[in-house]
Amino acid sequence: MSYQNRKAVARSFLILILTAILSLTIIIYAVNQFFARADQVVDEQACRASILTRVKSNLKVLDVVEFNPFPIVCKTQEKTLEGDREQVMMQISDLSARCWWMFLNGEYGNIFNKKSLFSDNMCFICYTFNIKDNIEPITGEELFEYMDDNYYITKAGEKGEPEGVVTYLDYIQRWKGEGIVLIGNGIDDEKDIQFVGNEEHTYSISLISPDISFVGGWTDDILKYINIFKSTEQREQESELKNTNKIYIANMGVDDKNQCVNLESI
């Protein structure tokens, strides 16, 4: 065999080895992505199942004190969003809808069952995320409008949960249970939240569940009559806001502590 032939064989062998290594790398990456996605879905399903078990299993002592032996098994998931402004808003909306689904579509109140004499609203962060790509900042108002104008496809298969197409906002606020979407402000109330790219900030999507204190019910009734400077409609709106489950989208470290006491682990 001539020198040129041996050189050609060596080159072909090297190309074959490099191709095999590249193919193996792609396969390993695809498998890892598949199992990472599978783990996320399993975690979300386990979270929802544990909450359903808990809300169906409250025990009462002397018809006064409630307690529950079943824990909530949920994990905060970290996400990196990619794409243009439209794609980022879609991903934030999808994650918000998924968080709402995990916590039973707002059909149950006081999910965390953290009763005390005087208590605060409790919340759990379903997702934290940052935005990888450089995009023009998205305001909270723009995100709210996107959720009001664009559609979320619900999946059939669960009892009483038909398949359908509703806007993201309708899905959270009125599709099964009643809810409220809150999109946090910046450092002060006059500054709208800004979703910016280049991974400059980390944001959170939380479920806020009203925490019912032992004295909360009758104090609310008294306060309705004490506050004579507000109309009946205003008092009813404030009561509804206080006692309704919420999806809260916030800028972590800036406005994520304004609405609720965060449960680190449930």
pLDDT by residue (tens digit) across 218-228? Answer: 445 555 555 55
**8 A C-beta contact, residue 263 and residue 112:** yes
Which helix (H) or strand (E) element contains residue 123?
A: strand 122-131
Every domain of the chain and the residues it spans: 76-262
> Rounded to 5 degrees, what are φ and ψ at 165?
-130, 120
The whole-number pLDDT of residue 156 equals 55
**8 A C-beta contact, residue 120 and residue 210:** no
The whole-number pLDDT of residue 4 equals 55
CA distance 235 to 196: 36
pLDDT at 116 over 60: no
CA distance 207 to 263: 10
**8 A C-beta contact, residue 180 and residue 162:** no
The whole-number pLDDT of residue 63 equals 45
Going by pLDDT thresholds of 50, 70 and 90, the confidence category of residue 110 is confident
pLDDT digits (tens, 9 = 90+) for 65-82: 455 667 788 999 999 999
What tokens appear for 72 in the block? 């909530």
What tokens appear for 92 in the block? 């934030």
Output 187 or 198, whichever has higher pLDDT.
198
What tokens appear for 179 in the block? 């809810």
Output 219 or 112, whichever has higher pLDDT.
112
Among candidate residues 261, 211, 221, 202, the one with its CA nearest the CA of residue 80: 202
pLDDT at 96 over 90: yes
Instruction: List the single range of 27-31, 72-76, 208-212 with lowest mean pLDDT.
Output: 27-31
Query: What mean pLDDT value characterizes the chain?
Result: 75
pLDDT at 105 over 60: yes
Q: What size, in residues, is the chain?
A: 266
Give the rounded percent of residues in the chain with a pLDDT score beyond 90: 33
Output 61 or 151, whichever has higher pLDDT.
151
Neighbours of 54 (CB within 10 A): 21
The whole-number average pLDDT for the span 161-166 is 69
> Rounded to 5 degrees, what are φ and ψ at 60?
-115, 140
Predicted model pTM: 0.72
The whole-number average pLDDT for the span 110-137 is 81
The whole-number pLDDT of residue 137 equals 94
Output 184 or 167, whichever has higher pLDDT.
167
The type of residue at 100 is W
Among candidate residues 77, 89, 80, the one with its CA nearest the CA of residue 198: 80
